[in-house]
Every structure is written in C-alpha cells, then in structure tokens.
Amino acid sequence: MTDTATTASILARPATPADAGAIAAIYNQGIDDRIATFETRHRSAADIEAWFDGSHPVVVVERNGEIVGFASTSTYRPRDCYAGIAEFSVYVAANARGNGIGRVAMEALFDAAHGAGFWKLVSRIFPENTGSLRLMATLGFREVGTYVRHGKLDGQWRDVVIVEKLLDEG
C-alpha cells in the first residue's frame, strides 16, 4: 500500500445547518449507546438546525470528506454573569472512534468557543464513560466533583462527573 492509501485526511471546520443530518446521525448513535447522555429521543436534522443560534459554535470533523464527528456548545445558564460559559458535547461516529477524531473536534471547539467570546467550557459525564473522562483529562479539563443521583436513564438513577476548562489557560 502507498502512503496515500493509508493516510486519512482529517479536517475540522465550523459546522453549518447543511451538516445537521450528518450530526443527527452521529448523535443518535451516541444516544443509543446509553453511556453518553440522559437523552433517549432520537434527533432529526431539524432539531439540530436549532443549535445554530448565531452565538454557540458547532464544529465537525471530516475524514476523507465524510463527517465522522462533531463538538458543539450550548447555553449554560441564561444569567448575564454566566454569558461566557458554554456547555459542550462531543460525539464521534461509532466506526471512527479511537483515531483521534474526538481530540481534533475538541481542539477545534476550543478555538471556536474562545473566538466567540467564551471563557469556560463545562459538561457532565457519566462516571462509567471512562473514554470520555480520559479524553477530557488529556485535554486539560478539571474534574470538579460528582453530582449523585442527578437524573434517571431508563429508570435508573445515574451520577455525573462535572468537568470544566478555562479557555484562556490554553
């Protein structure tokens, strides 16, 4: 095999509403995994289009021209004092995990969120989601603590680990 055949082209770029269908397909895989989110309802492309509110960046990662992952920001709290804090999510297509796509998506999101004026990203991760916790640790997130019995997934109480990263710290 030649280098050309073995080297994948990986590119992160800002997402647009035209990417909503691809993002929904990847997010719905994550919903089905039952390890990433309390959400259980599949999202449509129209649901995802609502994420593009003009202030919260969304990025996608393409591998050889195909969208295989995304990272997104959303409102943390409506209070003005928290205007610089965003919630984030990151999802990689099941058949593309473990190839650095999640890292590339998050690094692109850091730049996009910082450029959009955010100073901090936060999220909550199931303690069982060791892959995500590991990724966040390698990206410089701090584990703030654990919310116990924070919500039910399929009828079972679940804890969540709070993570935060200040974007000005690099």
Ligand X SMILES: CC(C)(COP(=O)(O)OP(=O)(O)OC[C@H]1O[C@@H](n2cnc3c(N)ncnc32)[C@H](O)[C@@H]1OP(=O)(O)O)[C@@H](O)C(=O)NCCC(=O)NCCS
Residues that bind ligand X (CB under 6 A): 30, 33, 35-36, 89-92, 97-103, 123, 125, 129-132, 134-135, 138
Q: Using CB positions, name the residue nearest to ligand X.
A: 102
Of 48 and 101, which CB lies nearer to ligand X in the complex structure? Answer: 101
Give the residue with the Cβ less far from ligand X, 116 or 122: 122
Neighbours of 73 (CB within 10 A): 23
User: Minimum CB separation from ligand X for residue 43, in Å?
Assistant: 14
Closest CB 64 distance from ligand X, rounded Å: 15
Measured from the CB atom, the residue of 45 and 133 that comes closer to ligand X is 133
